[in-house]
A = this chain, B = another copy of it.
């Protein structure tokens, strides 16, 4: 900080950029945050298209919560609810194209999650205290 004017300008840009990032991340978390949404999308992507299949894959989710999440995901164009006539009527959830935009997010979270689990394990065997994952 030798030149104060520059410093101010720089800091202002820095600050504005911070707000941009924060806003973007907040937007993302608003749309796909929470415990379940991404996991539901992943599990549908991997071929679990029925309500009960999804519920089995996404460990710990209750029917009520799953039902609500599916509605929201459909409303936001991440998935499509397909009803096929017949007896009984068959209902399947499929990914809508918009879910493909989540590729990078999902894969980075997956990579991070894997290394994080490893790190936790290392921390514990090296004797550090740690909250459990």
A: residues with CB less than 8 A from B are 6, 8-15, 17-19, 21-35, 38-39, 41-43, 45-48, 57-59, 72, 75-77, 95, 98-117, 119, 123, 130-131, 133
Contacts and interface: CB of A to CB of B under 8 A. Distances in A.
27 contacts: A6-B106, A8-B110, A9-B45, A11-B46, A14-B47, A15-B46, A18-B46, A19-B57, A22-B39, A22-B58, A24-B109, A24-B110, A24-B111, A24-B112, A25-B42, A25-B110, A26-B59, A27-B117, A28-B110, A28-B113, A29-B39, A76-B130, A98-B119, A101-B112, A101-B115, A102-B112, A105-B108
Nearest to A58: B22
Given A28-B113, A58-B22, A107 B42 contact: no
A118 to B, nearest CB: 10
Contacts of A110: 6, 8, 21, 24-25, 28
Contacts of A116: 27-28, 31, 101
Contacts of A46: 11-12, 14-15, 17-18, 21
Question: How many copies of this kind of chain does the complex include?
Answer: 2
Given A22-B57, A105-B108, A112-B104, A35 B29 contact: yes
